A and B are shown apart, each in its own frame.
Chain A
Amino acid sequence: EPEVTQTPSHQVTQMGQEVILRCVPISNHLYFYWYRQILGQKVEFLVSFYNNEISEKSEIFDDQFSVERPDGSNFTLKIRSTKLEDSAMYFCASTPRFGETQYFGPGTRLLVL
């Protein structure tokens, strides 16, 4: 069964550094999402992406964040200058049609020191 994959599984970085989290959505899916889950807290929506542009973003997704689909298969989340509070598990998800079940990747655990 096809699945969403994410790399790396864990990343440790220094405050102020840039990080890029990578996701490979399921190949025939058209809608892509990033969520984050701070340890012990709920899953929070960051951004959705469709037709090569951001469809919607939350208040968390400020100018420090950006997303890109550089090559038709990868879907990346970049944090330009990480802060301590960016430490979280970041989940990518994809879905073939709007409103359908989202298929989640295993997540990238980001730790900012």
Chain B
Amino acid sequence: AQSVSQHNHHVILSEAASLELGCNYSYGGTVNLFWYVQYPGQHLQLLLKYFSGDPLVKGIKGFEAEFIKSKFSFNLRKPSVQWSDTAEYFCAVNAMDTGGFKTIFGAGTRLFVKA
């Protein structure tokens, strides 16, 4: 069965620190990969996505992620976080070969940025 693992459940950083959130998935076929963010009290919003092409994708608000196929990973990075990045971050995978129509989410990483 497909699964998505996010390595950190909680991360606390100071402003200007660098961020890397890990995401690994288990599925051998073609995948579409996403990072979504959920700010406090708000709904899920897309940060960035990877479908094909350059494995280093850039998203909104200075976030980027790198797809490493050999490691089944899609880690999210930001060089310098801000207080406003405090939110929960979800990695998600959509498997293309099964004919299924679902997206599997990771458990989420709660990021708290100290001002």
Residues on A lying within 8 angstroms of B by beta carbon are 31, 33, 35, 41-45, 48, 50, 55-56, 58, 91, 98-107
Contact = CB atoms under 8 A, between A and B. Distances in A.
B44 A104 contact: yes
28 contacts: A31-B101, A33-B101, A33-B103, A41-B107, A42-B106, A43-B44, A43-B90, A43-B105, A43-B108, A45-B103, A45-B104, A45-B105, A48-B100, A50-B101, A55-B101, A58-B102, A91-B43, A91-B44, A99-B32, A101-B46, A101-B49, A102-B34, A102-B103, A103-B46, A104-B36, A104-B43, A104-B45, A107-B43
A45 B102 contact: yes
Interface of B: 32, 34, 36, 42-46, 49, 51, 90, 94, 96, 100-108
Query: In this complex, which of A41, A50, A101 has the most chain B Cβ atoms within 10 angstroms of its Cβ?
Result: A101
By DSSP majority rule, is chain A's interface helix, strand, loop, or mixed? strand
Contacts of B34: 101-102
Contacts of B36: 104
B101 A98 contact: yes
Given A43-B44, A50-B101, A101-B34, 18 more contacts: A33-B101, A35-B105, A42-B107, A43-B105, A48-B100, A56-B100, A56-B102, A58-B102, A98-B101, A99-B32, A99-B51, A99-B94, A99-B96, A102-B34, A102-B103, A104-B43, A104-B44, A105-B43
A35 B103 CA distance: 10
Nearest to B31: A99
Nearest to A3: B43
Nearest to A41: B107
A106 B102 contact: no
A102 B33 CA distance: 11
